[in-house]
A and B are shown apart, each in its own frame.
Chain A
Amino acid sequence: EDQVTQSPEALRLQEGESSSLNCSYTVSGLRGLFWYRQDPGKGPEFLFTLYSAGEEKEKERLKATLTKKESFLHITAPKPEDSATYLCAVRGGGGSNYKLTFGKGTLLTVNP
């Protein structure tokens, strides 16, 4: 069974203080690792997909990296508007072509 563990559960940063969120996973045949951002009262918003170890993707202040066991979401010089819950999900090779297994998320708060 696919599993995703995100850490920390919550992270509080000062504006401009860079940090990283962790997503550890176990999956049978990774078919994609997905990062989403979710604001309160809204649905998850897609950020990145990574497919193979060593892959990296960037968007503004965010950079996602992938190894065979974990993914990191690096946040460089965050701003208050980066405050949100960040969700990690994986799609494995066994069974379903559709199922995403999600972690519980990391609640990021960036203080001005």
Chain B
Amino acid sequence: ETGVTQTPRHLVMGMTNKKSLKCEQHLGHNAMYWYKQSAKKPLELMFVYSLEERVENNSVPSRFSPECPNSSHLFLHLHTLQPEDSALYLCASSQGGYGNIQYFGAGTRLSVL
């Protein structure tokens, strides 16, 4: 496996379900990110972890809960989502932050019914 891998690729859930998105990076990077991509809108940064510590949380509702158990893995736990949360959720990683390139996974397409 190389690069950034996200699972599942597609997820359909009801508003009362609990699910988790998984991201794994094989690049030896020390920072990981969650982004939300909605139609007709720019990518929105949700969370940043550096060396397994959360360093940014961009006013994301508490129904989204990130977890970073080590520098290679990142999770996004989802509960009681709303239909407007339907989007493509992208994970990325980088070596540090300053000026460094973020590499993205293929994303999880989430549909909330």
Contacts and interface: CB of A to CB of B under 8 A. Distances in A.
Given A45-B104, A98-B31, A104 B97 contact: no
Contact of B107 (A4, A31, A43, A100): A43
B101 A46 contact: yes
Interface of B: 4, 6, 31, 33, 40-43, 45, 48, 50, 55-56, 58, 90, 92, 94, 96-99, 101-107, 109
A49 B42 contact: no
A104 B58 CA distance: 19
A83 to B, nearest CB: 18
B104 A43 contact: yes
A98 B50 contact: yes
A32 B101 CA distance: 9
Contacts of B50: 98
Contacts of A46: 101-104
A51 B58 CA distance: 25
Contacts, number: 65
A98 B50 CA distance: 9
A105 B109 CA distance: 19
Nearest to B44: A102
A87 B43 contact: yes
Central interface residue in A43, A45, A91, by most chain B CB within 10 Å: A43
Contact of A49 (B55, B101, B105): B101
Given A36-B104, A98-B48, A104-B41, 6 more contacts: A43-B105, A46-B103, A46-B104, A49-B101, A98-B50, A99-B58
Interface in A63-101: 87, 89, 91, 96-101
Contact of B106 (A42, A91, A98, A103): A42
Contacts of B103: 46
A98 B96 CA distance: 8
A34 interface: yes
B107 A42 contact: yes
A86 B7 CA distance: 24
